[in-house]
Structure 1
Amino acid sequence: MGGQGGDGHSTTYKGFTVHHPKRWHAITGKGMCAIMWFWILYRAKQDGPVVLGWRHPWEGHEDHSHGHGHEHEHEASH
């Protein structure tokens, strides 16, 4: 059915043949896994308190307003 591809390294157990991955597959997989965990830990650092319910998403963003908040309040009052 599947043919004998690759370099012939495989393990057969109860009629099921598992082919061993090539070296570049293993290295690429480990690299992608590392990138995934770095991303998860970075997002946990950034969003952890909100996800765990320790603070609301709209709290702590005053420093990102760059002075726009007062202009909008002034425009809204006219």
Structure 2
Amino acid sequence: MAGGGHGAHNITHGGLSLHATKGWHSRVGQGMCAVMWFWVLYRAKQDGAVLMGWRHPWEGHGHGGHDGHEEAKHH
């Protein structure tokens, strides 16, 4: 096809030729994958209970204290 013909840098399996990756591409990809999973786990820690339905989003995070809504109801 239109692949350039440099067979030494390709990996062929079942008639499909794939280009071998460069080292820095693999390292950057692994780093970005790690950042993605850290972000997913951080958001799961922050919002997981709401996402799973164990807590309503308007209940807050359980830090105690009042936000003034209770006093507005009494007046």
TM-score (norm 1): 0.70
Q: Which residue of 2 aligns with 1:45?
A: 45
Distance 2:62 2:14 in 1: 63
Q: Which residue of 2 aligns with 1:55?
A: 55
Task: In structure 1, list runs of 5 or more residues that go unmatched.
Answer: none
Q: CA RMSD in A?
A: 2.5
TM-score (norm 2): 0.73
The alignment partner of 1:41 has SS state of: helix
Aligned-pair identity (%): 57
Distance 2:54 2:61 in 1: 15
Q: Which residue of 1 aligns with 2:3?
A: 2
- 1:35 is displaced (CA, Å) by 0.2
Counting only pairs closer than 5 Å after superposition, residues 1-78 of structure 1 correspond to structure 2 as 1-4=2-5, 8-60=8-60, 69=68, 73=72
Question: Mean Cα displacement is larger for which, 43-52 or 13-22?
Answer: 13-22
User: Matched residue pairs, number?
Assistant: 68
